[in-house]
Structure 1
Amino acid sequence: MGAAGVSSSWAMAALLLSCMLVEGSSAEPQLCFPPARPSLNNIDAICVHGADRRANHPHSLPTTGFSYLQRQADAINQMESLYSACCQSYSTQDRALTLSCAEKVWEDVLRIYCVEEFSIKTLQYHCCRENWKAKWNCFNKEAPNPSYLPTV
């Protein structure tokens, strides 16, 4: 297997690990990394199902060799917490303000996530290596659950 094959195998393994349910039963909703960009198509699900997606607890992740999972879980948990604040502050009655707030949260949390990735001697998440707009498009394209609906 060549370097490209090893790289794509590693990427697939990372995607599978990042989508694993880290706590609870397999029927419990989960949010995989990276989360999709908030949009008019998913803002209602972001607000309605937010509490169902918080399944990333530090004590349920492997303690060694998987620190990238912890960084991803931290980013998801921070994003969900801030999404909740957007949804409560503006409510779904003012979808435009809720969406604007959620979009800012999404970009800010992923920007901080990428800064943390580059501060650690590790292979950074590939979207973090992209420039501005390409970075956001990459994260959004990679999102395994763009609808934010609970998965079973």
Structure 2
Amino acid sequence: MFWKSMFVATLILHLISLGGGQNFDPGVLLKSSFPPARPSVNNLKAVCIHGNGRPRYPDDSFPSSSYAYARRAGKAVNRLEEWFRQCCYGGLAQGIGQIRCCVEQAWKTALSHFCIEEYSTMTLVHECCEMKGEERWDCFERKAANPSYYPLSGYRAPIIPPDRIFTWDPDTC
């Protein structure tokens, strides 16, 4: 399963580089990274170390019309990866315990914003967004495309500043 999603993601990224980002189905592209996995003891090292090797979704990677769901999902991934960087290297958190707490809070915040944006549309919302509390987080975790946070071979992510500010609350740990 992992190798299949890595192959699909690599192929799509290659097609993007050849065609200026317009020769692919963005929904297929996101299957390699959305929803993002819940940070855990098992994947924390990869969350922090391989951030630059996981896909980002600049606005020009989507056609100018339609694909609203893919845009929202891509935006959530972009936000989350920047927030992970802040937790791991931005000085927000110190030590493994705090970093883990920070990245989990970033994950929940990014997916909460995604769900809010899903509900602001006139389309069907992502099934996990329909759930509340721990059920929502468990749903996203079950559906995670890359639970180990492995990077794409040879990929270097562009820097995409988040459109929202993440404020970590260490008192929730």
Instruction: State the 1:25 CA deviation.
Output: 2.2
Task: Give the gaps of 5 or more residues in structure 1.
Answer: 1-15
User: Given that residues 127 and 135 in structure 1 are in contact (C-alpha distance below 8 angstroms), is that contact kept between their aligned partners in structure 2?
Assistant: yes
> Match of 1:12?
none
User: Given that residues 44 and 100 in structure 2 are in contact (C-alpha distance below 8 angstroms), is that contact kept between their aligned partners in structure 1?
Assistant: yes
Instruction: State the 1:78 CA deviation.
Output: 0.4
Q: TM-score, normalised by structure 2?
A: 0.68
Per-residue Cα deviation, 1:30-70 (whole angstroms, up to 9, x for no partner): 85100000001111101111011143111011222211101
Alpha carbons of structure 1 residues 96 and 147: separation in structure 2 relative to 1, 3 Å: same
> Match of 2:133?
132
> Match of 2:73?
72
Task: Give the gaps of 5 or more residues in structure 2.
Answer: 16-29, 154-173
| Aligned counterparts of 2:147 and 2:76: Cα–Cα separation in 1 | 16
> Match of 2:102?
101
| Aligned counterparts of 1:21 and 1:138: Cα–Cα separation in 2 | 26
User: Given that residues 23 and 55 in structure 1 are in contact (C-alpha distance below 8 angstroms), is that contact kept between their aligned partners in structure 2?
Assistant: no
> Match of 1:143?
144
Instruction: State the 1:141 CA deviation.
Output: 0.3
| Aligned counterparts of 2:127 and 2:147: Cα–Cα separation in 1 | 19
Aligned positions of 1:54-65 closer than 5 A: 54-65=55-66
| Aligned counterparts of 1:20 and 1:45: Cα–Cα separation in 2 | 18
| 1:25 counterpart = 2:14 | yes
Question: Which secondary structure state, in structure 2, belongs to the residue aligned with residue 24 of structure 1?
Answer: helix
Counting aligned pairs with the same residue, the percent is: 34
